Chains A and B, each alone.
Chain A
Amino acid sequence: MMKRLLAVCSAMAVCLLMATASLASGTIKIGALFAVTGPAAFLGEPEKKTLEMLVKETNSKGGINGMKLEAVIYDTGGDATKAVQLATKLVKDDKVAVIIGPSTTGESMAVIPVVEKEKIPLISCAAGIKITDPVKHWVFKTPANDHVAAEKILNYMSHHKQKSIALLTVTDGFGASGRDQIKTLARQKGFTIVADEVYGPKDTDMTAQLTKIRGIKPDAIICWGTNPGPAVITKNVKQLGIKTPLYMSHGVASKKFIELAGADAAEGVMLPAGKLAIYDVLSKNDPQFKLLKEYDHAYKKSYGSEASTFGGYAYDAFLLTSNAIKRSGSTPEQIRNGIEQASRLVSISGVFNMTAKDHNGLDLSAFEMVRIHKGDWSMIK
């Protein structure tokens, strides 16, 4: 009797073991930390939706190398402390093979020590340059560095012999980082900064700063911020009748900006745009064109709204991950190596060329300079 019981028990145990084993080899867990709520929700929400859409799509096509994907997505609320807790949870409890996110630079910097210690690859969706500079073994990021966008503007300016710059930047992380980058680059390239003004993220009127700038008569104004500030500034510039060329950052490269500022006031504003925002004016021969169109259509079909650059960051991260799994395997170590070896990987933010020295992999070609004309983008050289 006893013996039979033992046999049944052991048989059950074996079954159970096999079940878990098959489960482990049959699914790959992808962890994600996005700021779905809170002040950075405009980043986290499209990122989450994009990842969910892609995982569903991949699984319906039979997964990667026969293995299904499972996304474990947590909302950090944009809070670095919470991001660290959730990262630990993803690693210890959910046992994910890779983490996508967080959405903001602050959170990413906070999570980095966790993933470095636990040896889990992290693909951040935040733009801050310090995430991958200096290079960390386990850390990658998909948005192009701010200084790439800044360089794009300055190159365009020197091409048009504009030498003095008035800066107007927002007092948050994005603006402060942009301000530093432009100042450093401007010094290297021989521009002079004649005004260095700032505004608060919730400010509703910037005519004071612009009046001051108008008095200084710079060759160009560069504004660095995300909506709604730049839209207010664009309206204020129109109101004050300032004719100086106005450059914006890539942070406002969406139709939303033109809608907020009004096509009339936004006429002539120039900015470096990620290619997703402007794919319909892009050359059909551009390597990214087909993918951008597919992503935009798929996103519209799933969620009824236009795909955004921010969702694109999650797309890139997913593509890097799935590409790495296909190439080298599904353990954290293999995924990390696969990401680092990605070369000429055509994605949403650009064409990625990762190396051991460059964990971002994007260059100036990630952006195109555009001018707003009649409420739409037009490419400028």
Chain B
Amino acid sequence: MLFDQILQYCLSGLSTGAIYGLIGVGFSIIFNATGIINFAQGEFVMLGGMLTLLFLETLALPLWAAIPCAIAASMVAGLLFERLAIRPLRQPTPINLVIITIGGSILIRGLAMLAWGKDTHALPPFSGNDPISILGATILPQHIWILVVTVFIVAVNRFYFYHTISGKAMRACAYNRRAAGLVGIDVRRMVLFSFVISSALGSIAGLIVAPLTMTSYDVGIMLGLKGFCAAIIGGMSSGIATVIGGLLLGILESLGAGLISSGYKDAIAFIILLLILVIRPQGLFGKAESERV
């Protein structure tokens, strides 16, 4: 009995954790390219779900067409956000940029509220609703979608950052913007790219989770914060470490809610965040950086 309970906690934790991880990767990509935390990342998660719904219901597209349309529309939103809010800034100190992203998130949320109202909406599951039993624990087909998409995204990310020119260029910007500029990398274009990529990731996370958790104009706040936690645990890496951070967070949350008390579920996440920031600010898997003069 206890075994399948624990297995259930872990499986539930894995699927929510995968979402946290995906959102976290979006945070890290922008952080690495620009050095800022994009607090509007959660809103792209919301846009993913809401835009899919828009294409699906209002424009009556089939699901397989609505999803790419929603991702593309979110990427346009990310592009506009960078162009209109981030780039025109005269003195782009990190604190100004961070505050702009917070303002941007409030704006996007407000627009979504006006456009779609305050109601919660449900997306249909991608492939059925019949639970699948694994050793006494049950998951839904949608959970498998989430896990598969997460693995796929991690693989694509890995390929992009290590085997393509623009991915390598973005990593170069992450290491040293000035030097990257000096060797002829267009840093501003890389920043734009980072916003487009992470808005795509955010919207993918938003639309694959929406059939389970439903979506509304304000889902981005909490999911964004959890994704941020995942990114911190993963040491702001734009690859597997952040996803592992998310999975860890999801599993600990679920085990905490099940075995300790459901009242402390969110507290567990934020205690982990604080502990990591105090003890290992470079993330669980990172090596401590030494300042070179």
Contacts and interface: CB of A to CB of B under 8 A. Distances in A.
A202 B216 CA distance: 11
Contacts of B209: 204
A200 B131 contact: no
B232 interface: no
Interface string A200-212: 1011110111011
A260 interface: yes
A171 interface: yes
A369 B120 CA distance: 25
Contact of A240 (B131, B263, B265): B131
Contacts of B254: 205, 207-208
Interface stretch (A62-70, A227-235, A272-280, A313-321): A227-235
A190 interface: no
Contacts of B218: 202
A228 B131 contact: no
A227 B221 contact: no
Interface string A93-124: 00000000000000000000000000000000
B214 interface: yes
A134 interface: no
Given A215-B1, A240-B138, A202 B122 contact: no
Contacts of B9: 207-208, 211
A45 B119 CA distance: 11
B122 A259 contact: yes
Given A239-B140, A256-B119, A260-B122, A205 B214 contact: no
A198 B12 contact: no
Contacts of A232: 212-214
B138 A202 contact: no
B12 A207 contact: yes
Contacts of B5: 211-212, 214-215
A228 B214 contact: yes
Interface of A is mostly: helix
A: contact size bracket: 35 or more
- Which size bracket describes the interface of B in this complex? 35 or more
Interface in A255-288: 256, 259-262, 264-265
B219 interface: yes
Q: What is the interface of chain B mostly: helix, strand, loop, or mixed?
A: helix
B118 A41 contact: yes
Contacts of A214: 5
A244 to B, nearest CB: 15
A198 B119 CA distance: 23
B265 A204 contact: no
**Most chain A beta-carbon contacts within 10 A, residue among B120, B129, B216, B222:** B120
A200 B212 contact: no
Contacts of B118: 41-42, 45
Contact of B129 (A200, A208, A262): A262
A204 B223 contact: yes
A219 interface: no
Contacts of A200: 222, 265-266
B100 interface: no
B257 interface: yes
A205 B222 contact: no
A171 B12 CA distance: 21
A245 to B, nearest CB: 19
B120 A228 contact: yes
Interface in B5-39: 5, 8-9, 12-13, 15-16
B288 to A, nearest CB: 34
Interface string A177-205: 00000000000000000000111101111
A260 B120 contact: yes
Contacts of B213: 204-205, 228, 232
A208 B258 contact: yes
Contacts of A199: 262, 265
B292 to A, nearest CB: 43
Contact of A209 (B16, B223, B262): B262
B139 interface: yes
Contacts of A227: 120
A231 B8 contact: no
A238 interface: yes
A207 B12 CA distance: 7
Interface string B195-236: 000000000000001001110101101110000000000000
Given A207-B8, A264-B129, A212 B120 contact: no
Given A200-B266, A205-B12, A211-B9, A239 B222 contact: no
9 cross-chain pairs, A with B, having the tightest CB-CB distances, nearest first: A204-B213, A208-B257, A207-B12, A208-B258, A202-B222, A228-B120, A208-B254, A211-B8, A228-B214
Interface of A: 41-42, 45, 171, 197-200, 202-205, 207-209, 211-212, 214-215, 227-228, 231-232, 235, 238-241, 256, 259-262, 264-265
Given A171-B263, A240-B138, 18 more contacts: A200-B222, A200-B265, A202-B218, A203-B265, A204-B213, A204-B222, A205-B213, A205-B254, A208-B254, A209-B258, A211-B5, A211-B9, A212-B5, A212-B258, A232-B213, A259-B122, A260-B122, A264-B129
16 contacts: A199-B262, A200-B265, A204-B223, A205-B254, A207-B8, A207-B12, A208-B254, A208-B265, A211-B12, A212-B262, A215-B2, A241-B131, A241-B133, A259-B122, A260-B120, A262-B122
Interface of B: 1-2, 5, 8-9, 12-13, 15-16, 118-122, 129, 131, 133, 138-140, 209, 212-214, 216, 218-219, 221-223, 253-255, 257-258, 262-263, 265-266
